[in-house]
Structure 1
């Protein structure tokens, strides 16, 4: 798997298979989708007008439609759509807004978030008492276990932000069907293995901050 130079909630593996859609969504718009991902998954029903409109406007392909419809729950259908959209070019966000005719309150929320969005480009990803050099190392098994104990249902969103896929998450759940903490630990270890030298404590902490995990949870990894 190719290495990634930045943490992205919508990382992809390998070259984009859709040569006409290889330009990416504006970073601000990706940030908006990332920050509202859980709300979108709980409030949207995408299988009707939403994906039909996106298909009509050339944002989705027929294969995309099939992949979305094949998901068992509406939550997964929406999540799959949100995984696809950022790789569909700079017009994808506007077209997505246009597709939300049946969900005006969701569209309003997205537009408001977009207007206030400020890219989180900060060089200060430091942790009090932890050296910059230490943050360049990958998290240890012990640190991953400490983090896993303090995360809830948001863990899936976090590992997606780190670059894992829904299939990766499914495998972690299948391998540990009766132990949620083991699923979480397995997912973070999988991230560490996939991304190698780029799976650093710094990138992990940066992502945790971006998705608004409590600073006390982050600090506990180092205690």
Structure 2
């Protein structure tokens, strides 16, 4: 694996381990592509919880040859959000000095086809899982009112994920074709859910 790719996985190891559900599609895909062996799959699946499974996968990947990183990116179809951010970071990584070009959260670095895409239900559901305490700030930046947020909470009192997803779906329904990945990334950045935070050391 390229040293740059190794460093990227190492830097974001803890972040990724909290965002990926590796057993459903990622591990089977990597096994199918001969990136992982039976022994690797067994080692991953023997871990006690999903975070530990993800950490084990990220520990194994750097030693799995030059195809491992590209195969890993292809395995992230259900986590396109994560893949787009990793690709964005790779594109903006070389940036020494003030004349180096756009900053790490400049969404112009992503292909226009990605930026103008309307997120699917699956995309929004995956995002809803990961927003955490920043979800209300993101939804308000997207244009939802305090009343809208209250309604999302009251309609889904037992599930924060369902409340967040309801808000994201409402935003997409109201905005139509304007509800793009680019607009969503802008609100994530406004709520400090972006690459700059990924780079910072957590606690």
- Larger helix share, 1 or 2: 2
TM-score range, shorter chain: 0.3 to 0.5
Q: TM-score, normalised by structure 2?
A: 0.46
Q: TM-score, normalised by structure 1?
A: 0.42
